[in-house]
Amino acid sequence: MKKVYFLILAIACITMVTSAQTTLTIKTINGVEPATFKADQPLSATDYAEVELVKGEALTVVVEYTNAGVLPAYGKEIILLRFLDGYGTIANESGAVIDVSANPTSGTETVVISVPNSDVTKATGGRLQAFTKDHISGGDVSAYFGTFDFVDGTPLAMGSVKADLSSCYYAASKSAIVMDPDLEGDYAIYNLSGQLVLNGTVESQINVSALSSGMYILSCNGGVLKFAK
């Protein structure tokens, strides 16, 4: 009787493991939930777009996943984060490639992606898509957010700055991030859950003494810096 019981239990466990679904969720954009992202932006009742995004604007996006699948083009577990025109890809816009092969079972990834420098041509608007393959069937698995219109303006652009974060670092003795003197503009610091914990204007040193110990991500027009406090 015990052998039968253990056999049934083993079969049940195998079934649970192999039937686990692949899921993707766009958790936050610039530290807020998608439903409230730019919620204060005035909208036209006849406009298909929920939100206007400035071309070249850098967005910090948190993606949560379980059981990511293998993308054939990469030969390993990958999540693509990209903008779409309607539901179609945009030429010369590869988006962000998130390599989760070290931990494909579950996790949360924070990435920065820039709004395409192209017009939305589809009547259904632009969208943000997180994309992978189902780890069992190999079918497409996607999470979408939007609709957007991509407009001209003056963004906090990652590609138009004179300096980056390669020389920046966290100084434990000062409880501050030492910044490149050529960097300017605004900054935002997020925890690994995508919550905004600190923001302000870039200075030579950013005081982070108010933050608890842990891992954080600094985002500014020079790029992204992950640091431990």
Check which CATH number belongs to the domain holding 204 and give it: 2.60.40
User: What is the chain's pLDDT, residue by residue, as a tens digit (229 residues)?
Assistant: 444 444 333 433 333 344 478 999 998 887 777 777 776 665 443 344 567 888 888 788 889 999 999 999 899 999 999 999 888 888 878 788 889 999 999 998 888 888 888 888 887 788 899 999 998 888 999 998 878 888 887 544 333 444 567 788 888 889 999 988 888 888 888 887 667 889 888 899 999 999 999 888 888 776 778 888 8
Report field, pTM of the whole predicted structure over 0.85:
no
The pLDDT value recorded for residue 41 is: 63
Residue 87 is part of which domain span? 20-151
The pLDDT value recorded for residue 18 is: 43
Q: What is the residue type of 148?
A: F
The pLDDT value recorded for residue 160 is: 40
The pLDDT value recorded for residue 178 is: 92
Residues 119 and 64 in one domain: yes
Residues 57 and 167 in one domain: no
The number of folded domains in the chain is 2
Residue 173: inside a domain: yes
Residue 132: inside a domain: yes
Residue 83: inside a domain: yes
Residues 143 and 172 in one domain: no
